[in-house]
Amino acid sequence: MRNIWKSVKRSAAVLAVALAGFSLMPGTALAQPDAPRGAQEAQAGLPVVGGTRAAQGEFPFMVRLSMGCGGALYTQTLVLTAAHCVGGTGANTSITATAGVVDLQSSSAIKVRSTYVYRAPGYNGTGKDWALIKLAQPINLPTLKIAETTAYNNGTFTIAGWGAAVEGGSQQRYLLKATVPFVDDATCKSAYSELVPNEEICAGYNQGGVDTCQGDSGGPMFRKDNAGQWIQVGIVSWGYGCARPGYPGVYTEVSTFASAIKSAAAQIGG
């Protein structure tokens, strides 16, 4: 496991896009033991640092998971999240997915329990950080398509989550959003020697200030495709602290695993 503040997998307290000035909620349950943006996120938790509140309905595919991670609707019965947020593959009814709201305390929130978890085969804490959670019933909201090629692994991305707004902060009540630029593999590798270039993609500002954080793990990093539709390029995974200068956020490169994700979805009946 990576050091909690050094290379924390951003679960429960991980997706923090470091947002100064937002009220924080009391921390919720942290991510499971293998949490990248928070390798010890299982003991930390971050939100989107440097972000602003998302509008109701702006990102209808966003999902909050009860273990303190984020996710996105891959289908109306499957949530795509990070492997470090869940245990092994198998039946699992312990996770609650909350969707349809930016305010987690809203009476309009849709809450659905899990029935099954599929964690990426071979996941051991480095790379391959993706998983699917099957829901007990469909959530009738728009889904987020995933990138199947590297064509969109560039430009500026949107990140969003309910994680901490500052490194070491508490989870958020309201969904926060921010934008971050692509960082090439060579530059990212100079910051993180353990980066897996073919399986991970980096984004962030060299000067820091905006990033995902604890509690954001598993959430999507996305952008518009050539048709102007949202497409998921990354999954919040890990990083050294949150929004630190010279240390961009590290995300699972979705296009690398697109065929595996599609196959897994078909296998578990999503």
CA dihedral 146, 63, 197, 248 (to 10 degrees): 130
User: Is residue 37 a contact partner of residue 236, using CB atoms and an 8 Å limit?
Assistant: yes
Determine whether 263 is an active site residue: no
Please identify which of the residues 7, 11, 34, 84 carries the catalytic annotation. 84
Helix (H, G, I), strand (E, B) or coil at 152: helix
Q: Is 84 a catalytic residue?
A: yes
Widest pairwise Cα distance in the chain: 46
Distance (Å, whole) CA 235 – CA 233: 7
d(CA 93, CA 223): 32
Q: Which residue of the set 129, 211, 216, 237 is catalytic?
A: 129
Tell me phi and psi for residue 68, to 5 degrees.
Answer: 100, 25
Please provide residue 160's backbone torsions phi and psi, each rounded to the nearest 5 degrees. -155, 150
Is 217 an annotated catalytic residue? yes
Gap between the terminal Cα atoms of the chain? 31
193, burial (CB in 10 Å: exposed 0-12, middle 13-18, buried 19+): exposed
Of residues 11, 114, 170, 217, which has the active-site annotation? 217
Closest CA to 150 of 256, 14, 270: 256
Catalytically active residues are 84, 129, 217
